[in-house]
């Protein structure tokens, strides 16, 4: 199927207006100050929030 008419620049740019990527928001871990994703466990120390323990394979 072939387009019947050429799409204008405005239509093309309006369509692509929502395609921009948003940067990933990192925050510092309050325990070890390493960057981590918010609402996720820290990859360095495993901290999530006070009072919450995550079971890991380590003993």
pLDDT, tens only, 10-26: 999 999 999 999 999 99
Number of domains the chain contains: 1
- Looking at the domain assignment, is residue 16 inside a domain? no
Rounded Cα–Cα distance for residues 1 and 33 (Å):
55
**Which residues are CB-contacts of 46 (< 8 A; sequence separation ≥ 6)?**
54, 56
Q: Flag whether 55 is in a domain.
A: no
Could you tell me the residue range of the domain that residue 30 belongs to? 23-49
- Identify whether 56 is part of a domain: no
User: Is 32 within a domain?
Assistant: yes
pTM value surpassing 0.75? no
Q: Model confidence over 25-34: pLDDT tens digits?
A: 999 988 889 9
Q: What is the pLDDT of residues 37-59, one digit of tens each?
A: 988 888 888 888 887 766 655 54
Residue 37 backbone phi and psi in degrees, to 5: -75, 145
With 90 as the cut, is the pLDDT of residue 9 above it? Answer: yes
Angle at CA of residue 31, ends 29 and 33, nearest 5°: 45
pLDDT given for residue 19 in this prediction: 92
d(CA 34, CA 11): 44
């Amino acid at each position: 199927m072939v387009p019947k008419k050429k799409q204008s620049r405005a239509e093309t740019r309006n369509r692509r207006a929502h395609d921009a990527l948003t940067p990933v928001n990192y925050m510092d871990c309050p325990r070890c100050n390493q960057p981590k994703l918010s609402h996720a466990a820290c990859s360095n120390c495993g901290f999530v929030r006070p009072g919450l323990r995550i079971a890991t394979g380590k003993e």
